[in-house]
Structure 1
Amino acid sequence: MIGLAPPEYDPAAPTTSETLPVGAPATVRAYVRELLRRHRKAFVLLVVVNTLAVTASMVGPYLLGGLVEGVSDDARELHLERTVGLFALALVVQAAFVHQVRLRGAMLGERMLADLREDFLVRSVGLPPGVLERAGTGDLLSRITTDIDRLANAMREAVPQLAIGVVWLALLVGGLTVAAPPLAPALLVAVPLLVVGCRWYFKRAPSAYRSEAAGYAAVAAALAETVDAGRTVEAHRLGARRVEQSERRIKEWTAWERYTLYLRSVLFPVINATHVTVLFSVLMIGGCFVLQGWIGVGQLTTGTLIAQMLVDPIGIILRWYDELQVAGVSLARLVGVRDIEPDAGDAGVAPDGRDVRADDVHFGYRKDVDVLREVSLAVAPGSRVALVGPSGAGKSTLGRLLAGIYGPRTGRVTLGGAELARMPAEGVRAHVALVNQEHHVFVGSLRDNLLLARAGAKDTELWAALGAVDAQTWARDLDEGLDTEVGSGGLSLTPAQAQQIALARLVLADPHTLVLDEATSLLDPRAARHLERSLSRVLEGRTVVAIAHRLHTAHDADVIAVVESGRISELGSHDELVRAQGAYAALWKSWHG
């Protein structure tokens, strides 16, 4: 078969960041087996009910074949009343069981879809934060939305319908073999046509659908990145370039859409030709057998009706198998997160102390391009360390390494002697927390927002946490108190109030080490001063690593580390570094004018 060639696809084009992996075939098969094990009782019940429905559907052809045989033999008694009664009973039984098949299939599909959504969410939340940061929002967003939507139809209908179709086909072939054994081989005439067409299609379809899904993810990533960085795009006059990039990715995506449509346009005529061939071969071969006296007219009638009934299960199997090709790609993308070690580490590793150390650390976001080089730093328990330096020197990256967000390429970052990269993410968060200018208010009550930090906290503890960050006054004034709905669709909070909620979560989580990345830098001066007073209460008694974009933050630190070009060039107290007349002294002098 010759036709439309698959479009050229540039694997470098879809994303500007490292995407989440796509599940290997073995991972997908293992997950499908796991789903079936979870719902094996419902699956077995579906097969049993479907078997009864198909068996009832074959009563009609058998009875009609008996009538035709009786007429051809000039039988005096056809027993029409009994035949009609049995046929009506079979129809009622078939209708009842078909209803159960549809009901049980829909229920099974919904339960499996719910499991898939929950599994993906739980697995994604458990991933190391650095993995999600490098993947970017576009790839994750397309999996949560587009891939889930594509799988919804497959889980609700494709999986149950495919099981129904396979059972249906097997029973009909078995029924034909029993009712008219010589006609069963006639079905084989259409097999070569079906096999050739399906082999051609399914050889090309999986990779085409994967490229189509990747193309859509690339479009989503481009749009999400442009919207998120809209002000930067406008400031640097990058609008035309971003539009060109989006148009190129849309063109690649639509090219794959057209190619997969072409594949289907070849498959469906092959299916229709198979149906015609099956019926034609049964009629022609059966007719010859009747003329030879090898079978009766009644057997031919029964065999022909059953052969006609084969159209439906074959159509169901191929239609939904095609749907599963699309769904399989989405499933592989969702199950791909299972190929990532959730915590990239060993749950048995536990810190023995609170000291944080970085030893000869090298780290880069891209392969062979290090942002940090030969970095060593010791943070004593209860001390305050400030990281200063010019923009782009690597301060925030070092802070994220010390917070356990990233793992070093080489070297070690340890907490109490235990490597952060080997500790479970939940274990790291229990000891170390990163506080930056990003604050999140989730849709729900104020109580729900706070309970994210400690699920079992009582209301008295929640109010104490709000009081610790100077948020109790405005929270008490809310009409419904802790039950007040906040976030989208609820009460709109100011940036300062939203950050106070984030700090209250920190109080509840109670980590002993905090990494601060200018948590107040995006607020107006009055709100920033108010929030800094709240923040100072949270910092009492804790180890603090502050990424100081403004040098007044560094002045009172116990130790100041000057980061330049990915290395720590100076280390000491404020007075020591000013006397040294080095890079920090120059920064301090320029900052003071």
Structure 2
Amino acid sequence: MDRLPVSSAAEVRAYARRLARGHPRALALAVAVHAAGAICGLAMPLLLGDLIERIPRGTADVETVIALAVMFVLGQAFLSGVAIYLSARLGEQVLAELRERFVDDVLAMPLATVERAGTGEVVARTTRDVGLLANAVRQAVPDAMLAVTTIVMIVGAVLLTDPLLLLPCLSAVPVLWLAARWYLTRAHAGYVRQNAAYADLAEGLTQTVEGARTVEALGIARRRAERADHDIASAYSAERYTLGLRTVFLPISDLSYALPVVAVLVIGGLLYLDGLVSLAAVTTGALYALQLVGPVDVLLYWLNELQLSGAALARLIGVRGASADPDAGVGADAAPAPSRPSAARPPSRDIGHVTFKSVSFAYHDDHDVVRDLDLEIHRGERLAIVGPSGAGKSTVGRLLAGIYEPRVGSIALDGLPTAGLPLSELRRRVALVTQEHHVFSATLAENLLMARPDANRAELEAALRALDAWDWAADIGLATPVGSGGLDLSPAQAQQLALVRLALADPHVLVLDEATSLLASQTARRVERSLSALVKGRTVVAIAHRLQTAHDADRIAVMERGRVVELGSHDELVRAGGSYAALWRSWHGASEN
């Protein structure tokens, strides 16, 4: 079952028309050259028909016919090659646009949507569906375009040769139309189901491979194998259904190819005996009917591929329905957002004020993980959020970062509802760094420049030094490839890299969700102090399990069961003798031991 939207067949056709209209000259030129090549191909039956008519009368000029035939064959070969080249070039341009738009749509999807969809669904659309579409654009569409043009030209040639032969020449149309209608009404849904089944299979296999150690540790290999077997069976069932459609449709199509040739010879022969048509016309018409077999066969052959690519395009376009508009706020009356201050200077004291008002949020309808949250975070304040697992700490950070939207209530940033801010503006104002991080397959410098493309080497070095990462970065070199296929960074180094990116991005509000959890205690303390000094004047929300982080904060919010049960400075909460004091005594005693 698809966890992301899938566009309807009508939306796919409308989208394809918009793509075609985006390249009118290139499309017209390709069609014109296809038509010219088809016209050259029509000359041979006409020459042969005329030759057969003239031979009994002794007026045939065989040498001239042969010369013309060679000329037209060579002309057809040349024009067909040019037409294929033009169609392929147009196809690559269209494919590039599709890929760019798809990447934009994927990157614009809210992270909550990506998490709900799962890795396999996104990977399947990014790889298999894009691959199917690429094959169609590069081969199926150009070949189908040539086939349609040739069919139209042949039908026109039969009509000009003798209108009486048009009907027998088109005798296969009713059979093909009925078979195609039966096939097409079932194929789209079948191929969409098939692609979705492959997405489920990819999801299950991805989870099993990525969590191989967990699978082994928990002894659930059999359950994961059963899940894979079930997904394979579903994919097999979906594939078998579409194969059954082709098994019915293609033999009917193959049998119908002989109908036009037989019909023209039989009916044309009877008309010739009655003196209604000439022998040349019957011969030419039969050869044209025979010529129809090739393009019709090509068209029907690619019809299956076009159905597959149409289903793939429906899934790719569907991503747009799940994507947030990066240039528009969620609210209809979003106020204009202030421009981002220069990264070279701290933001003004008026930036970075956050207010949660009666906020509740649930991952599932029957259970709120955040309940009636009222919280004000002052400009430039460092607020630590602590509490037991499942208290809602990380959810608060994700709500502030705009990954999730409150079920009820509102969140305001500098007096503006975050739901009304353009997503790009919210991303510039609020940055979330979690214990999850990613090292891209690029050089170390390129990994850093993703956060701030205009940074020079001195600025990169300053950021690395500030985050206590310069020593190891200098050892490996900024030009060293890292990530997949390059040098593997340790978990601590990768986490420091994520923090350096954050420093370079220079947002107004920082949400650190256990961002230093993979660092050793002493390193984490140095990094946290360096980070605090680096972002002085910014609002910092630190979600941490280390109470030393809370000790250094201006205020501490203690959460239990989705609510803030205590709020104050470290000394105030210790004196109050509540939940935080108990946590502090427990942690402080453990750390001393």
Partner of 1:331: 313
Deviation at 1:530, TM superposition (A): 5.0
Match of 1:433 in 2: 431
Per the alignment, residue 102 of structure 2 pairs with 120
Tell me the residue number matched to 1:5.
none
Cα distance in 2 for residues equivalent to 1:461 and 1:581: 46
Q: What does residue range 357-396 of structure 1 map to in structure 2 within 5 Å?
A: 357-396=355-394
Alignment of 1:69 with 2:58, yes or no, is no
Q: CA deviation at 1:584?
A: 2.5
**What is the Cα deviation at residue 39 of structure 1?**
2.5
Which residue in the other structure is 2:514 paired with? 518
Structure 2 distance, partners of 1:96, 1:341, is: 48
Alpha-carbon distance change, 231 to 583 in structure 1, aligned in 2, over 3 angstroms: farther
CA distances 1:283-320 after superposition (whole Å, capped 9, x unpaired): 11111111111111110010000001111121222222
Cα displacement string for residues 486-528 of structure 1 (whole angstroms, at most 9, x for unaligned residues): 2222333333332232222222211121111111212344554
Paired position in structure 1 for 2:342:
none
1:544-583 C-alpha deviation (Å, 9 max, x unpaired): 1111222222123222222222222222222333333333
Task: Give the alignment partner of residue 496 of structure 1, picking from 474, 492, 497.
Answer: 492
Shift of 1:458: 2.6
Equivalent residue, structure 2, for 1:320: 302
2:185 equivalent in structure 1:
203
Task: Tell me whether 1:252 sits opposite 2:234 in the alignment.
Answer: yes
Mapped partners of 2:41, 2:421: distance in 1: 60
Aligned residue number for residue 505 of structure 1: 501
Q: Indicate if the aligned counterparts of 1:56 and 1:94 stay in contact, CA closer than 8 A.
A: yes
The equivalent position to 1:191 in structure 2, one of 173, 176, 188, is 173
CA separation of 1:446 and 1:378: change in aligned 2, threshold 3 A: same
1:578 is matched with 574
Give ranges in structure 2 of 5+ residues lacking alignment. 339-349
1:403 aligns with 2:408: no
Q: Distance in 2 between matches of 1:227 and 1:581?
A: 47
CA spacing shift, 1:393–1:226, aligned 2, 3 Å:
farther
Change (3 A) 1:474 1:545: same
Instruction: Return the TM-score normalized by structure 1.
Output: 0.92
Counterpart in the other structure of 2:266? 284
Q: CA deviation at 1:206?
A: 0.8
Once the two structures are superposed, what CA deviation does each residue of 1:385-426 show, in whole Å capped at 9, x if it has no partner? 111111111111111111222211221111111222222222
Q: Quick one: structure 1 residues 410 and 349, their matched pair in 2 at CA, closer, same or farther if it must change by over 3 Å?
A: farther
The structure-2 alpha-carbon separation of the partners of 1:281 and 1:265, relative to structure 1 and needing over 3 Å to count, comes to same
Whether the 8 Å CA contact 2:363–2:369 is kept in 1: the answer is yes
- Aligned 8 A contact 2:197 2:231 in 1: yes
SS at match of 1:562: strand
Per-residue CA deviations over 1:32-55 (Å, capped at 9, x if unaligned) read: 223213332221111011001000
Structure 2 residue 337 is matched with structure 1 residue 341: no
Give the secondary structure class of the aligned counterpart of 1:491. Answer: coil
The residue aligned with 2:247 is 265
Query: Greater CA deviation, 229-238 or 219-228?
Result: 229-238
In structure 2, C-alpha distance between the alignment counterparts of 1:412 and 1:27, rounded to whole Å: 35
Q: Which runs of 5+ in 1 are unaligned?
A: 1-10
1:175 is displaced (CA, Å) by 0.5
Kept after mapping to 1: 8 A contact 2:335/2:420: no
Deviates more, 1:38-47 or 1:57-66: 38-47
Distance 2:35 2:373 in 1: 68
Counterpart for residue 58 of structure 1: 42
TM-fit CA distance, 1:532 = 3.6
Q: Secondary structure at the match of 1:570?
A: strand
After superposing the two structures, state which structure 1 stretch, 552-561 or 426-435, moved more: 552-561
Write the distance in 2 (CA, Å) between the matches of 1:138 and 1:41: 39
Alpha carbons of 1:229 and 1:357: their partners in 2 closer, same or farther (altered >3 Å)? farther
Q: How many residues are matched?
A: 573
RMSD: 2.1
Percent of matched pairs sharing the same residue = 49
The alpha-carbon deviation at position 384 of structure 1 amounts to 1.3
Amino acid at match of 1:259: Y
Shift of 1:58: 0.6
Aligned to 2:540: 544
Q: Supply the distance in 2 between the matched residues of 1:231 and 1:397 (Cα, whole angstroms).
A: 27
Greater shift in the superposed pair: 368-377 or 270-279: 368-377
Paired position in structure 2 for 1:350 = 337
In the TM superposition, residue 207 of structure 1 has moved relative to its aligned partner by 0.7
DSSP 3-state at the match of 1:155: helix
Q: TM-score, normalised to structure 2's length?
A: 0.92
Pick closer, same or farther for the CA change 1:300–1:369 going to 2, 3 Å. Answer: farther
Within 1, Cα distance between the matches of 2:75 and 2:406?
A: 66
Give SS of 2:156's match: helix
2:501 partner letter: R
* Distance of 1:76 and 1:95 partners within structure 2: 32
Say if 2:557 is the partner of 1:561: yes
Deviates more, 1:42-51 or 1:559-568: 559-568
Distance across 2 between alignment mates of 1:33 and 1:447? 42
Provide the C-alpha distance between the structure 2 equivalents of 1:585 and 1:533, rounded to a whole number of angstroms.
Answer: 23
Q: For the Cα contact (< 8 Å) 1:123–1:338, is it kept in 2?
A: yes
2:283 corresponds, among 296, 301, 308, to 301
1:77, distance to aligned residue in structure 2 (A): 2.1
Task: Say whether residues 1:42 and 2:29 are aligned partners.
Answer: no
- Aligned in 2, Cα 1:420/1:178: closer, same or farther, shift over 3 Å? same
| Alpha-carbon distance change, 442 to 458 in structure 1, aligned in 2, over 3 angstroms | same
**What's the CA shift for 1:485?**
2.2
Deviation string for 1:342-368 (max 9, x for gaps)?
346267541573201111112122344
Distance 2:379 2:9 in 1: 47
CA contact (8 A) 2:463 2:500 kept: yes
